[in-house]
Amino acid sequence: MPAQAMPIAKIGGSCPPGYSQQGNMCVPRSGAKATHLKVGGACAPGYAQHGEYCVAQSANAKIVYPRAGAGSCPQGYVTHSEYCVEQ
């Protein structure tokens, strides 16, 4: 199942591409790609950095979320730097 565009906290000066600012949130517009906050130095595979965000490079990007501290990722996900990436 590809990652879906969801509202995300606004960090820094602007929202990522395809998102509109509503208060302190960035809300996806029609056709927006999945986005998550950048953790550490780089984005997960399939995502490109845009300011403080990592934006999916395609509509079929895998689900990615920040890994909790030094913990491991759950079944069905692999560790990639600071992220858990759907297999």
State the Cα torsion 40-43-45-46 to the nearest 10°.
160
What are the pLDDT digits (tens) for 48-80? Answer: 999 999 999 998 899 998 887 777 899 999 998
12 vs 49, residue with greater confidence: 49
21-58 per-position pLDDT tens digit? 999 999 999 999 999 889 888 899 999 999 999 999 99
Instruction: Answer whether residue 2 shows pLDDT above 90.
Output: no
Partners of residue 49 on adjacent β-strands:
54
- pLDDT the model gives residue 1: 65
pTM of this structure: 0.85
Distance CA(76)–CA(12), nearest Å, equals 32
